Copies of this chain bind each other. A is one copy, B any other.
Amino acid sequence: MLKQSPAVDLILSRLLAVRQQSLALIAPLEPEDLCLQGMADASPPKWHLAHTTWFLQQFVLEPLSAAGERLQATHPPDGWSYLFNSYYDAVGSRHPRPERGLLSRPTIAAVLGWRERVDTALSALPELLERLPAARGEALLALLELGLQHEQQHQELLLMDLLDGFSRNPVLPAYDHGPAGPEALWLERLGATESSGRDLTWRRYGGGLAWIGHPGDGRFHFDNEAPRHRLWLEPYALADRLVTNGEFEAFIAAGGYQRPDLWMSEGWAVCQERGWQAPRYWRGDAEFTLAGLQQPRRADAPVRHISWFEADAYARWAGARLPSEAEWELASASDADDPLPQAHGLVWQWTGSPYRPYPGFEPAAGAVGEYNGKFMTSQFVLRGSCYLTPPGHSRPTYRNFFPPASRWLVGGLRLARDHR
């Protein structure tokens, strides 16, 4: 029997608070926004709310029911599992991703009703856990934590996707320009960091044989952050701040988008085909944001919403390069007294590292093993976190990943160079 009610209560209260936060995120939206899907890569807000609920239903509640535990009924109507599965092949077939915006039904009311039933069932888990053998209890706690982290990821995706969807509307809607809105948070953080816009300083690191990856000390991490392992690094230097809008404007003024010699061949082709001339949400000297069009764009703010290809081209133009993910992690983790500035909370930082498994990587058993491991081709790792990332969802070992042409995530860059 598991005597860990405190841990359970703690996870559950955190999970339910995160679930509540998802509802808060859609509060500023109009009903029509709930079905908005700007492109195949993005999903509508309502879908995110339903999918995160499906995740808990599928991986937490269903297995308990299947194991004979008596829970409040939370099974959704027929067909919802097909609709709200994202990519778990082991669970069955699923609705095509590009058509999520066509799901005007089930209504938001029906989805929220389901969310509530699931949350109620989750609230009853502490009682159940007291009866569960320790191993099963531990596994259940781990799945609850995964459900929580998963929902946080979707909170960031929801806002990214919404910005994409709104950006395609010529009336340029604003999600929220209140003092507690995401853009206000961005500006507040910009104010708090002293480094933006000032001269760049290089921070030097000695390299050598080093360890990266999550230490596996019981704190939560995704499977792709493990195992912790050794690697060899040559001495290197990292910029002490992110590249700014002003600097990126200089790159554009210098013909950065017209010089194939600065670009990877694949990136140059994408750039030509899509007619890229500036970061994704720049509009003249303004920038489209979740608070609507911001004019003028702040020159001292970190550039955001650029692809890996643009980050890489910029770095080459600047006579530098992107950091490897190991370089970034070591710098970020190395020194509590003098932490790497702007590591978290502004923009995700593209690295030069393709997203591949760490040596000895093992995906989790079962369907949750599809969480990360099967995406390890043709993507690059980003490190840090951004202003849309929920609190508590950042750590030095976190590996975010996107294809190199992606621009709708909050991607920016920090320069690196060899130091010999």
Interface residues of A (CB under 8 A from B): 30-36, 38, 46, 77, 79-80, 82-83, 87, 89-90, 95, 99, 101-108, 165-166, 168-171, 173, 209, 229-232, 234, 260-261, 263-268, 308-309, 352-354, 356, 359-360, 370, 374-378, 404, 418
Copies of this protein, total: 4
Contact call B209/A232, Cβ cutoff below 8 A: yes
| Known contacts A261-B90, A418-B359; A101 and B101 CB within 8 A of each other | yes
- Beyond A32-B107, A353-B356, 13 additional pairs, beta carbon < 8 A: A32-B46, A32-B108, A79-B170, A82-B170, A99-B168, A101-B101, A103-B169, A104-B173, A105-B169, A209-B209, A232-B232, A267-B377, A378-B378
Contact call B89/A36, Cβ cutoff below 8 A: no
Residues in chain B near residue A101, CB distance under 8 A: 101
- Determine the distance from Cα of A104 to Cα of B46 in the docked complex, in whole angstroms: 13
Contact call B165/A375, Cβ cutoff below 8 A: no
Contact call A264/B376, Cβ cutoff below 8 A: yes
Of chain B, the residue at the smallest CB distance from A30 is B107
**Could you say which of B33, B80, B232 contacts A104, with CB atoms under 8 Å apart?**
B33
Contact call B102/A377, Cβ cutoff below 8 A: no
- Determine the distance from Cα of A289 to Cα of B352 in the docked complex, in whole angstroms: 39
- Determine the distance from Cα of A180 to Cα of B171 in the docked complex, in whole angstroms: 37
Contact call A404/B418, Cβ cutoff below 8 A: no
CB distance from A227 to the nearest CB of B (A): 10
- Determine the distance from Cα of A35 to Cα of B231 in the docked complex, in whole angstroms: 49
CB distance from A316 to the nearest CB of B (A): 10
Of chain B, the residue at the smallest CB distance from A418 is B360
Chosen A-B contacts, 12 in total, with CB atoms closer than 8 Å, are A30-B105, A32-B46, A87-B265, A89-B260, A89-B261, A104-B165, A104-B169, A105-B166, A263-B374, A309-B377, A359-B418, A378-B378
Contact call B234/A83, Cβ cutoff below 8 A: no
